[in-house]
Amino acid sequence: MKDYKILGKSVARIDTPLKATGDALFTADIKLPRMLVGKVLHSPHAHAIIKNIDISKAEKLPGVRAVVTREDSFDVRWGVFKYTQDHQLIAVDKVRFVGEEVAAVAAEDEETAIKALDLIEVEYEILPAVFEADEAMADGAPLIHEDHPNNVNIHVNIDVGDVEKGFADSDYVREDRFSSSGETYGMLEPYTVIADYKAAGALEIFVPTASPHTKAKALSNLLKIPLNKVIVRRSNVGGALGGRSDIFPLDFITATLSRKAKRPVKASYTREESMTCTRQVHDMIVDVKTGVSKTGEILAQDIKVIMGGGGYSSTGPIAASVPFLVWEETYRLPNVRLNSYRVYTNKPIRGMYRCHGRAFLGGLGMQLDMIAHELGIDPVAIRLKNALQAGEFQATGSKIFGCGLSEAIKNAAEKSKWAKKRGKMAPGKGIGMGANGMMCGFPMGIRGGSSAIIKFNEDGYPTILTGVVDNGQGNYHAMVQICAEVLGLNIPDIHLVAADTEVTTLDMGAYSQAAVFVGGNAVKNAAEDARQQIFEIAAKILDCNADELAIEEGKIFRKNDKNSAIGLHKVIRKGLIDNTPVIGRGSYMPEVSRTREWVSNPKGQQAGTFSFGANVVEVDVDMDTGEVSVTKATGFHDCGFPINLKAVEGQYEGSIASGGLGSSLMEEHLWKNGRMLNPDFLEYKMPLAVDMPEISANVVITDDPKGPFGAKEAGLFGSMNSFQAIGNAVFDATGVWVKEFPITPDKVLKALAEKEKTVK
């Protein structure tokens, strides 16, 4: 590992003291003068036509300041893509899931707002509803959007090579079905929006978001306000996990209430509303047929996916693609076909998740082990055999740059003592592996890049302006570290202003694993630009050329004469008096295909670079009851270069909990007629501290040629491949495959009973 002054160490983050002491403000903590309370009326029906809405009684209730309904819809539809604009952010003609937003009130206090909701009368005509994706796709199912036959919202088709020939050439072919129920993100912070529609026509909005600039653009379009007048102030985010990137009805509704009431409005969702009315995670059915050579080389794969998308599109085209993209980022797939269908259902809207696609990535990763088992190949060996290498191209055409996948697989096997354990442990104990690649920086058009500005005050201390967002993973600290390293300063010397659309420049936010890779490159470039300007001014004072200078500890000096040092503040002041103020400017746009499109043209470079990881878990299965405990997790992460080692380790630990073992073993939505039975943290089972295994977090350093100081995405590999690692470990422990996620004890017990029957 290269030795930097600031980078690559384990350091406490700039946000740690605030969060540890409780001083960090989250949106719900913010109070504006004259602020009202907003409350939303939700649909009680899964599928119904709205015949009439009568708000007259609610409007007359003393203390009510505004009521909004479909009359205030602006007749606009939201969609992440032009071709997916299907969602009116307050229901107009019909409702498509239980919980859809139908009306809202702003009142002086919460009690009054709740009372007012009871006074709104909505007349519905109930329509037949359909809840499961495969049933929604069947002929004759009720149509949820009349212009989408068979309720197919998105169909992504990828066909590479000659799949039929690949199967014909294969020595061994098998087909399996894997499935998973829907999940919840489980951010601790309930969703809250504060909107202040100012008399001058500007909208100020405080919201926990992973992408303030995207939110501003959407609100600008929807409310028809120029973009420079939509001020999205990002407050601290109590968990995002992929579910804070989109635009939600509450954003639009709170803004509309504020516009109507001419006062600031705060609307906070309850846990139940947060779990059902923002975004949920897709349920999924995956059929996969794989053909391999005798030696386990993948020769052909045919994958069909059906995803329950809920009532609207959200990030549909991306959601329908990402599980496959992650798979093709990991293994060589010469002949591969994907048919991925995202289907409308009468359930809440489904979005992207940090471990999106457990039936897909868990299933395909488990099938790889099934194949290895049939062919008598070690699961580590079959992964190494098919693992992509630096310089290779993925199935749909992306080039791999830095790649530590094979090294991560080997290291994880070695450190976990795989060879001594796999197949050799006591009954009920098992070990399994998962591995994956991960894209950093999607093709997102003008929103795919980032730019940063570094300004200096006359005392020599800089302020970074960047659109990068920190949802808790440490992105802010990484930006400060990068700037400090380039400018020869220390972390406390630097001030950061981030993710505030009034002052920061366009950035995609914490999306597609791009913050450190894209935003970090932009900050690095801005710092280098500032440094060059500093050297040019200092060269005049020190009477030398700019390239003879160095900067350390806030002092600029000739490399060959440390005694020549002058303070940075003097250089900054000279720049000001000479009318050449130092303002660093930098940007970065990942080198991705400009013609690649999720549905119409899924070909070409799909991300700026890729990170990799391998994860070995050990499980303890109670052979009598089927209960599974994860006892140990050993991960190796090719994150390029760890800007802050502690933050990278923390990401792995978090991904083992949320996504990792939670998704694999316990997390699932339960439903009855479109109503979620477990919309709370007692009955929706997320792992607790006592459920966590012993964790060994490690890095593989590859110094990515594209990343800032070699850095790229850090953290998703634990959550993206724990399903397969745990599923494979359960097989090692018990000899049975459980192909439905989560792997709950009843399923393990059933599989064991089936096996016993077959043996008899």
CB of 162 to other proteins, least distance (A): 45
Q: Is 157 in the site for other proteins (CB under 8 A)?
A: no
Kindly identify the residues of this chain, within the stretch 737-756, that bind other proteins according to CB under 8 A. 744-746, 749
Q: What track of x and - describes contact with other proteins for positions 87 through 106 (by CB under 8 A)?
A: -----------x--------
Q: Quick check: helix, strand or coil at residue 140?
A: coil
Residue number, 185 or 197, with CB nearest to other proteins: 185
Residue number, 118 or 578, with CB nearest to other proteins: 118
Q: Is 108 in the site for other proteins (CB under 8 A)?
A: no
Using CB under 8 A, which of the segments 170-178, 489-497, 680-688, 730-738 binds other proteins?
A: 680-688
Alpha carbon distances (Å) from 485 to 339, 490, 553, 619: 46, 8, 10, 42
Distance CA 79, CA 134 (A): 24
Q: Report how many residues bind other proteins under the rule CB under 8 A.
A: 32
Residue number, 139 or 624, with CB nearest to other proteins: 624
CB of 330 to other proteins, least distance (A): 31
CB of 682 to other proteins, least distance (A): 7
Q: Which residues on adjacent β-strands are paired with residue 336? A: 160, 301
Q: Is 690 in the site for other proteins (CB under 8 A)?
A: yes
Q: Is 415 in the site for other proteins (CB under 8 A)?
A: no
Distance CA 616, CA 722 (A): 8
Binding test (CB under 8 A) with other proteins, winner from 679, 707, 718, 727: 679
Q: How many residues does the chain have?
A: 760
Q: Is 29 in the site for other proteins (CB under 8 A)?
A: no
Q: Which of 487, 157, 486 shows the shortest CA–CA distance to 336?
A: 157
Contact between 288 and 298 (Cβ < 8 Å): no
Contact between 291 and 172 (Cβ < 8 Å): yes
CB of 725 to other proteins, least distance (A): 20
Residue number, 77 or 685, with CB nearest to other proteins: 685
CB of 112 to other proteins, least distance (A): 12
Alpha carbon distances (Å) from 504 to 93, 195, 464, 511: 38, 19, 9, 17
DSSP 124: E
> At 689, phi and psi to the nearest 5?
-50, -40
Kindly identify the residues of this chain, within the stretch 597-626, that bind other proteins according to CB under 8 A. 624-625
Tell me the two tokens of residue 321: 């693609």
CB of 209 to other proteins, least distance (A): 20
Using CB under 8 A, which of the segments 119-127, 201-209, 265-273, 504-512 binds other proteins?
A: 265-273
Q: Is 317 in the site for other proteins (CB under 8 A)?
A: no
Sign, Cα dihedral of 570, 573, 575, 581: positive
Q: Is 72 in the site for other proteins (CB under 8 A)?
A: no
Residue number, 256 or 274, with CB nearest to other proteins: 274
Q: Is 675 in the site for other proteins (CB under 8 A)?
A: yes
3-state secondary structure 395-464: CCCCECCCCCHHHHHHHHHHHCCHHHHCCCCCCCEEEEEEEEEEEECCCCHHHHCEEEEEEECCCCCEEE
CB of 628 to other proteins, least distance (A): 11
Using CB under 8 A, which of the segments 311-319, 367-375, 416-424, 672-680 binds other proteins?
A: 672-680
Contact between 716 and 724 (Cβ < 8 Å): no
Residue number, 688 or 759, with CB nearest to other proteins: 688
Distance CA 1, CA 517 (A): 18
Distance CA 48, CA 45 (A): 6
Cα angle vertex 472, ends 468, 478, to 5°? Answer: 50
Residue number, 687 or 727, with CB nearest to other proteins: 687
Tell me the two tokens of residue 723: 């399903």
Kindly identify the residues of this chain, within the stretch 184-203, that bind other proteins according to CB under 8 A. 190
Contact between 475 and 515 (Cβ < 8 Å): yes
Distance CA 429, CA 423 (A): 9
Q: Is 577 in the site for other proteins (CB under 8 A)?
A: no
Binding site for other proteins (CB under 8 A): 42, 44, 98, 110-111, 114, 190, 268, 270-272, 624-625, 629, 666, 670, 672, 675, 677-679, 682-683, 685, 687-688, 690-691, 744-746, 749
